[in-house]
Structure 1
């Protein structure tokens, strides 16, 4: 009887462990699906697979359009996004640009006469 209980406990531990692993990896897959949906929408916004293949300089007769079409199912490869940020990372660059501020405030209490910030402000 004790042997059966031990085997059941081991089996339960395996089931719980497998469940936890699936939960972790499925969460990664779920976020990847949203990335793929965003990539699919971006390809459509750029004019579709044929237009994107043309913009990237892919030969349409040598499978360039099919390559881009596959990205609608698999996602745009990261190296392609990095190689062509003007096409694929425009929203990210806009967000970064809006978050950056050109407004530099002097420290509370004013500037010291010989500090780097004081010299930089005098140049402007």
Structure 2
């Protein structure tokens, strides 16, 4: 139900509308991607805790990853990379992140640097 409510709300938003977030003034795609990220990562947390397999759709994972973490390494498994970007796992050649953040403002505003 929450996903339906958020989807209905975002469908009503003009393309230039922005909303405050501590990590940047997000547009509708930023808010949608943050919601997807939360659902994907926390569903995985719950599944792991309960010992239940969870295999999300890679199209959703990749879209979320590219929208929120444009600096994420390419050429890796998208799901493992999303977990890495959220500080949940290491990747080959990339240690687990102790600090992480989203880029929720429009991608056109990303300065090309990995946030520190």
TM-score where L is the length of structure 1? 0.25
Pick the structure with greater CA Rg.
1
| Structure of greater relative contact order (alpha carbons < 8 Å, 6+ residues apart) | 2
Higher helix proportion, which one? 1
